[in-house]
Amino acid sequence: MGLVRPVDLKVQPVPYQVRYEVLQKIVKTLERFESASGDTGRRAVEMEASVARKSGSGQSYRFNASVLLRDLLKTKGKLPQESAAGGRVKRVGTTIKLTRSDAMRLLEGAVVDEAILAENGYNTGKLEREVEDLQLSSAGHKYTSCIRCNTKFDRLQIMSPATCRFHVQRKRYNRDTREGEYACCGETTSSTSFLALGCKTLPHHVFRSETFDAMSQISPFKSTADIQGDANVLALDCEMAFTSLGYELIRLTVVDFFTSKLVFDEIVRPFGEVIDLNSEFSGVHAIEDHKSITFAEMLTQVLSKSMINGNSILIGHGMENDLNVLRLIHRKVIDTAILYPRGKFKSSLKDLAFEVVSKRIQSGEHDSSEDAIATMCVLKAKLEIPLSQTIWD
């Protein structure tokens, strides 16, 4: 069969060369299942064009193309007569086992573009470093607002006793009473009770550095690009605590995508003095020396040929938070908060897991491996990878 070329479109979501390559992949896939006829090329061109027309960005083009290729494999090259509406392929009755390379191709297609990572708060190593908005006074104070109670305080005096009164959870709008309500204790925003100021009191205010520059001062960012190793796929989940130095990693959990096995789970000692372990969310109640490792030890164990390396695909939900506390710059990322956008707010993993895979999580304390596994399930559902498949050829 002669070479086929993508049809011209006024707006191209990706460079022509990328469309050309995708088209050749579609042709190859079709040829696996049918003896090449004049029709194969025409169908492939139409399929590619339909993907290009419905994709508003390079990101969605690559994603839609990988979904199409996967669907073609599943249906052995027969899309339900290319439903003109571009609708989804009908569910095939039997569960089809994917090969590892099929799954890898789908995952590669869901890897987030670097520019989108940067927009979502990931350190791509290329951003201008902004200067942190700190009010430095001549007397050597570093004033900042407490992110819990909004009181202005001197960061250099963070360990001196203070009164920080706050609500553990955000307020939500209650449609019945038509007012704001705190999920933690049920206090309403109109309440005149003393408790309306907050249901928890701690002796210190807290802050969180937002710039990569400020984060680097505690521990520098490290790029995984030069770490050689296997093209593995890992789901990450971190727990963080407030310390005298800000917001720091206290636990890292890593789960292997293909086997769902826990490959790393350690409590990590922060650099600063602990103010609040966020136990109700983090599930970490104490950091004991003999049951924890240092940040440097964590990096040595985790950055390796067989674990996190330059070729790894890392999966997480709102993973900019995780990678930033790990101080990692990593290129191949799949973020379920980006794959499932919810208007201007990020979707919560709890809601997503329930909506997408009917999984109830975080009913009590957060459990890192539960979160990592829920994230993987959400992603598998999106890519239509069988949830329970743990053996791959």
- Determine, following the binding rule CB under 5 A, whether residue 199 of this chain makes contact with Zn ion: yes
CA distance 378 to 372: 10
Using the contact rule CB under 5 A, the part of the chain among 2-10, 133-141, 180-188, 278-286 near Zn ion is: 180-188
- Determine, following the binding rule CB under 5 A, whether residue 202 of this chain makes contact with Zn ion: no
Q: Which of 181/237 has CB closer to Zn ion? A: 181
CB of 187 to Zn ion, least distance (A): 6
- Determine, following the binding rule CB under 5 A, whether residue 149 of this chain makes contact with Zn ion: yes
CB of 198 to Zn ion, least distance (A): 6
x/- map, 96-135, Zn ion, by CB under 5 A: ----------------------------------------
H/E run at residue 138: none
CB of 142 to Zn ion, least distance (A): 15
CA distance 116 to 112: 7
Q: Which of 122/207 has CB closer to Zn ion? A: 207
Q: Where are the beta strands (DSSP E) in 194-280?
A: 200-202, 222-223, 233-243, 246-256, 262-269, 274-276
CB of 204 to Zn ion, least distance (A): 8
x/- map, 294-323, Zn ion, by CB under 5 A: ------------------------------
H/E run at residue 132: none
H/E run at residue 10: none
Q: How many chain residues touch Zn ion (CB under 5 A)? A: 11
- Determine, following the binding rule CB under 5 A, whether residue 184 of this chain makes contact with Zn ion: yes
Q: Name 349's Cβ contacts closer than 8 Å, sequence gap at least 6.
A: 317, 318, 336, 337, 361, 362, 371, 374, 375, 378
Using the contact rule CB under 5 A, the part of the chain among 34-42, 148-156, 219-227, 310-318 near Zn ion is: 148-156
Q: Which of 202/234 has CB closer to Zn ion? A: 202
Please report, for residues 33, 59, 224, the alpha-carbon distance to residue 123 in angstroms, rounded to integers and kept in the order given: 43, 18, 12
Contacts of Zn ion in 331-370 (CB under 5 A):
none
- Determine, following the binding rule CB under 5 A, whether residue 204 of this chain makes contact with Zn ion: no
Per-residue tokens: 334: 């799949």
Using the contact rule CB under 5 A, the part of the chain among 42-50, 62-70, 174-182, 268-276 near Zn ion is: 174-182
Using the contact rule CB under 5 A, the part of the chain among 201-209, 219-227, 304-312, 361-369 near Zn ion is: 201-209
- Taking CB under 5 A as the criterion, the residue among 19, 43, 205, 331 binding Zn ion is 205
Residue in this structure with the two tokens 């052995």, named with its chain if needed? 76
Q: Which residues pair with 266 in a beta bridge?
A: 252
- Taking CB under 5 A as the criterion, the residue among 19, 148, 269, 380 binding Zn ion is 148
- Determine, following the binding rule CB under 5 A, whether residue 164 of this chain makes contact with Zn ion: yes
Q: Which of 111/202 has CB closer to Zn ion? A: 202
- Taking CB under 5 A as the criterion, the residue among 61, 182, 212, 247 binding Zn ion is 182
Using the contact rule CB under 5 A, the part of the chain among 35-43, 82-90, 160-168, 228-236 near Zn ion is: 160-168
- Determine, following the binding rule CB under 5 A, whether residue 158 of this chain makes contact with Zn ion: no
CB of 365 to Zn ion, least distance (A): 17
Q: Name 230's Cβ contacts closer than 8 Å, sequence gap at least 6.
A: 305, 306, 309, 311, 312
Q: How far is CA 125 from the centre of its chain?
A: 18
- Determine, following the binding rule CB under 5 A, whether residue 227 of this chain makes contact with Zn ion: no
- Taking CB under 5 A as the criterion, the residue among 96, 185, 263, 274 binding Zn ion is 185
Asked whether 371 and 361 are in contact (CB, 8 A), the reply is: yes
Please report, for residues 207, 288, 325, the alpha-carbon distance to residue 279 in angstroms, rounded to integers and kept in the order given: 17, 15, 17
Q: Which of 164/252 has CB closer to Zn ion? A: 164
* Nearest in space to 275 (alpha carbons), one of 367, 207, 215: 207
Q: Which is it for the CA torsion 279, 285, 291, 296, positive or negative?
A: positive
Long-range pairs of 4-10 with CB within 8 A, sequence gap ≥ 24: 4/41, 4/44, 4/45, 5/45, 6/45, 6/48, 6/49, 6/52, 7/45, 7/48, 7/49, 9/49, 9/52, 9/53
Q: Which of 63/182 has CB closer to Zn ion? A: 182
- Taking CB under 5 A as the criterion, the residue among 146, 299, 377, 378 binding Zn ion is 146
- What is the β-pairing status of strands 233-243 and 274-276? antiparallel
Residues in the chain: 393
Q: Which residues bind Zn ion (CB under 5 A)?
A: 146, 148-149, 151, 164, 167, 182, 184-185, 199, 205
